[in-house]
Amino acid sequence: MCGIVGAVAQRDVADILLEGLRRLEYRGYDSAGLAVINNSEIQRLRRVGKVKNLADSVAESFPQGGTGVAHTRWATHGEPTEANAHPHMSQDRIAVVHNGIIENYKELKAELSEEGYHFSSETDTEVLTHLIYKLLSQGECLLKAVQTAAKTVTGAYGTAIIDKQNPDVMVVARSGSPLVIGLGIGENFVASDQLALLPVTSRFIYLEEGDVARISRKSVEIFDKNGEQVERKVNLVDAKADSADKGEYRHYMMKEIYEQPTCVRQTLEGRISASGIETGIFGQGFEEVVPKINHVTIVACGTSYHAGMVAKYWFEQYANVSCSIEIASEFRYRKFYVHDGSLFVSISQSGETADTLAALRLAQEQGYLSSLSICNVMGSSLVRESDYHFMTRAGTEIGVASTKAFTTQLVSLLMLVLTIGKHKGLPAGVELEIANALMQLPSKIENALLANKEIEALAEEFADKHHALFLGRGDQYPIAMEGALKLKEISYIHAEAYAAGELKHGPIALIDAEMPVIVVAPKNDLLEKLHSNVEEVRARGSILYVFADKDAKFQSEENVRVINVTPTEDIIAPMVYTIPLQLLSYHVAVIKGTDVDQPRNLAKSVTVE
């Protein structure tokens, strides 16, 4: 949440900062600002709303300077007003951008106010800003002032600070919120996500927890949490600078929906073939862990949590191990029982979700056999801190509503099921069947995408609805949940998902002609049960939208719209049935005119609690 970009260069950096903010806008988009040092003065611009508003004012006032910081905000403390937008300044000397939450800001604010500091915003960041200024004015250098301030504040921060009295230096610090340094030639950068810096560099240093760095044009000095100077690895990132482009699509979300066949292919490549799952794909040493696994604990948030829910069905059916799945924000605050031989699996697109990361750290203290993260961002905190990691190769996902990350997470989890299953009595024939089904998945998704026009037409019927109910059974229940989440995230229609068998235990009371009911109905062992549920809904006057296999014996008739989905093997049906639900929510949102890629109040990467 919130995006940070900073630069120390010889050239003017306002455009680099703005481009970085545009690329980070998915992290927060209620206000934006930048500050550059120009002739030993700080020039600051802040605007409410999207980065475009800031870009307009940059175009009018041409701020010049080679050292600068910028920020796109997702409000935590204080409304999205210009006064609350970053950068924050103290006595016109320093400018600070910050991502995270300073938990003891009230106490610090009281102390600083008493000492005469004036607060012009409601933010916690301004407290950090005055605190750093106070330490500077006591004679500390910028690096030392930030190190001391870092010890005084509690909570999470990723921060970058510039000081007009040290115009060629920027100091950055990380604790709980990601920061990456981008290395240029005669210029250096910082950002909360490397994506922001891909137009200017492909060499990155990921800061560790507690690191503080002093960055100049020609040098980067990093100090760890104990204040010791340390070397951190330089990583070359092989990502195309244009991966943040929409291409021919109107929205990132649609582009990402259509990328799914390719992303799934990439995720499978070299890891599975017609002769089964390859060994060693979860990293060196993981094969030795596998025989010891008796239980799998999955922890995740949002869409990633739904992927984990599907996997629970698979682990218990095919890998012969028990599996529990939990939302990270619940897991981290309760007393839990660790089964012998428990593998801790975290799932995250970003690898920076605060609750998921905290759950991993907690699990590492609690005697789990080992930890594995399934993640889409190389170098992310989750990847670096887990014993093993497995990359979903979905490429950069920009749309706030997760799509391609979800399907590639499912594919990755299924490969984990096979890897564990092989040691737990999964018959070779079943492994081959699953492997072959997975190999066909990209073309099955391509077929599912062909329903786009039909679904677009159907979406018209949802535009004036206020509520929707999604029903599924078995491993399609989490898919119904994911469908409901997509609809509420981007179209703001209240949507709920129920396991169809629960219908009679409450939600049936809600059903009337104003409540559309969406059913995911592949042809599987539960189909007959689902038929009965559908009849119960129909009898109560609701309009039904049934996504079903051609031979699932559903027919369009009055108040029932059947959308045929390509028949598919049971095991990959969750991925295939996800596609039409993604398309449905996308088209409903477009018809309603909402901001599809940056829906209100949401952020792509939730790096604060």
Q: Which residues in the 310-349 window bind ligand G6P by CB under 6 A?
A: 348-349
Question: Considering beta carbons, is residue 203 or 488 the nearer one to ligand G6P?
Answer: 488
Q: What string of DSSP letters covers 339-355?
A: -TTEEEEEEESSS--HH
One-letter amino acid identity for 596? V
Using the rule CB under 6 A, which residue among 28, 302, 421, 580 binds ligand G6P? 302
Active site residue 604: yes
Which is nearest to 375 in space by CA: 399, 403, 345?
A: 345
Q: Which of 2, 263, 323, 375 is catalytic?
A: 2
Q: Does 602 bind ligand G6P (CB under 6 A)?
A: yes
Minimum separation from the CB atom of position 287 to ligand G6P (A):
27
Sole window of 254-262, 300-308, 362-370, 556-564 interacting with ligand G6P (rule: CB under 6 A): 300-308
The CA distance from 557 to 555, in Å, is 6
Q: Which two tokens stand for residue 319?
A: 């890998």
- At 244 the three-state DSSP class reads helix
The 10 Å Cβ neighbour count of residue 309 is: 19
Q: Which of 109, 134, 255, 604 is catalytic?
A: 604
Using the rule CB under 6 A, which residue among 297, 304, 370, 381 binds ligand G6P? 304
Phi, psi of 347 (to 5 degrees): -120, 130
Half-sphere exposure of 182 (CA within 13 A, CB side): 26
Q: Does 407 bind ligand G6P (CB under 6 A)?
A: no
Cβ–Cβ under 8 Å, residues 79 and 20: no
Active site residue 2: yes
The CA distance from 326 to 335, in Å, is 13
Q: Under 8 Å CB-to-CB from 529, ≥6 apart: which residues? A: 473, 500, 501
Question: Considering beta carbons, is residue 70 or 602 the nearer one to ligand G6P?
Answer: 602
Q: Does 402 bind ligand G6P (CB under 6 A)?
A: yes
Q: Does 491 bind ligand G6P (CB under 6 A)?
A: no
Cβ–Cβ under 8 Å, residues 47 and 82: yes
Question: Considering beta carbons, is residue 22 or 486 the nearer one to ligand G6P?
Answer: 486
Q: Does 175 bind ligand G6P (CB under 6 A)?
A: no
Question: Considering beta carbons, is residue 47 or 73 the nearer one to ligand G6P?
Answer: 73
Q: Does 607 bind ligand G6P (CB under 6 A)?
A: no
Using the rule CB under 6 A, which residue among 14, 298, 519, 606 binds ligand G6P? 606
Map residues 359-398 to x or -, x wherever contact with ligand G6P holds by CB under 6 A: ----------------------------------------
Q: Give the residue at shortest CB distance from ligand G6P.
A: 302
Question: Considering beta carbons, is residue 43 or 349 the nearer one to ligand G6P?
Answer: 349
Q: Does 28 bind ligand G6P (CB under 6 A)?
A: no
Question: Considering beta carbons, is residue 488 or 531 the nearer one to ligand G6P?
Answer: 488
Q: What string of DSSP letters covers 51-107?
A: HHHHHHHHHHH----SEEEEEEE--SSS-S-TTTSSPEEETTTEEEEEES-BTTHHH
Q: Does 400 bind ligand G6P (CB under 6 A)?
A: yes
Core vs surface per residue 420-433: b (16+ CB within 10 A) or e: bbbebebeeeebee
Minimum separation from the CB atom of position 74 to ligand G6P (A):
11
Using the rule CB under 6 A, which residue among 166, 194, 260, 356 binds ligand G6P? 356
CA distance readout (Å), 371 to 202, 330, 366, 393, 413 = 29, 18, 11, 20, 14
Minimum separation from the CB atom of position 353 to ligand G6P (A):
3
3-state SS, one letter per residue, for 92-160 = CCEEEEEECCECCHHHHHHHHHHCCCCCCCCCCHHHHHHHHHHHHHCCCCHHHHHHHHHHHCCECEEEE
Map residues 546-585 to x or -, x wherever contact with ligand G6P holds by CB under 6 A: ----------------------------------------
Q: How many residues bind ligand G6P (CB under 6 A)?
A: 15
What is the set of active-site residues? 2, 604
Residues that bind ligand G6P (CB under 6 A): 301-304, 348-350, 353, 356, 400, 402, 602, 604-606
